[in-house]
Homo-oligomer: A and B are copies of this chain.
Amino acid sequence: MRYPRYTDLAQGLPSTVPFVGPETQERARGREFNARLGANESGFGPSPAAIRAIGEAARGAWMYGDPEMHDLRRALGSHLGVAPEAVMPGEGIDGLLGYLARLLVAPGDAVVTSDGAYPTFNFHVAGYGGVLHKVPYRDDAEDPAALVAKAAEVGAKMVYLANPDNPMGTFHGADALAEMRAALPEGCLLVLDEAYVEFAPEDDLLELDPSDEGILRLRTFSKAYGLAGLRVGYAVGHPELIDAFNKIRNHFGLGRVAQAGALAALADTAHLARVQGEVEAAKRRIGRIAKANGLTPLPSATNFVTLDCHGGVTRAKALVAELGKRGVFVRMPFAAPQDRCIRISAAPEAELSVFERVLPEALAAIG
């Protein structure tokens, strides 16, 4: 008899990673990158108050975190103008997407997303045996009408939309989202991944409405708050759905250190505003560098700029590789036709200067 006896589902899954980390590439090339522009991390760093809070929490790290995350849920509720019962913090959006898939997806269940959208969502859906149905991007944006139509066609339990979108940086305003919500087939949950929401037009966001059972919003401290390495995200939605996470989540999963860091980061609104300003300036700079080298920056409502390299996937892949050889870590979209592009994270001046210096060399190398 085979040891151990995996479930049929687990037995059939590939051993995979949604993303190869830059550290893996650094080990392969034998030295660190000079510019880390591939994971849309915030090189502007976390709030100094959050850094202090993490350091202080370290002394008390012998204590488990509050499994109810009382203070953090209250602070987030207050920040968002919703009840704490409408908020569920967790181990990053990745962790929360895993819990959500577990709650909703049984083998064979239909789920809809865009071809080339966030692969970790797909990883979790497939991991629970779900069947992914993908619709193409339209004009470099996810296509709400096509997503809704496909969801109706296949009887999807969930439809995923990242807004603003990763990897293209595009954004749908409040009206488009409200229209999508209204058109959703009955019983289909809209999973709205808002990892980049702090960079989107604030006056054009779909209002948060936890009385709506049909939408779950996901946000994070990994991007604008610069705490990707602390692992804190949160879901906002109907209190009944939010409470369902308690059936399955790792109750002590968000530790004392993570909760303290997130609380302090949330309170430092001045730091967030500073980062938002720096990101806008960095995106303009990336745009100028791109244009000076014959690449076209796409409009971005995120903390990165996607650059059209005016070729196919082969050209974009070669450029990513050549940039990597020159110490610049970037990534690119997975699916055509978006994979004609590369994606550059907003970053401080020093790293963008490295990018500016090596981009012409990398382009020359691919000819």
Contacts and interface: CB of A to CB of B under 8 A. Distances in A.
A226 B61 contact: yes
Interface in A60-92: 60-68, 70, 91-92
B62 A44 contact: yes
**Is chain A's binding surface mostly helix, strand, loop or mixed?**
loop
Contacts of A102: 7, 10
B251 A10 contact: no
Contact of A229 (B95, B157, B229, B255): B255
Contacts of A39: 63-64
A27 interface: yes
Please tell me how many copies of the chain the complex holds. 2
A261 B51 CA distance: 14
A247 B58 contact: no
Contacts of A188: 4
A14 interface: yes
Which of A42, A51, A261 has the most chain B CB atoms closer than 10 A to its own CB?
A51
Interface string A205-240: 000000001100000001000111111000000100
A1 interface: yes
A39 B187 CA distance: 42
B247 A229 contact: no
Contact of A228 (B55, B62, B70): B62
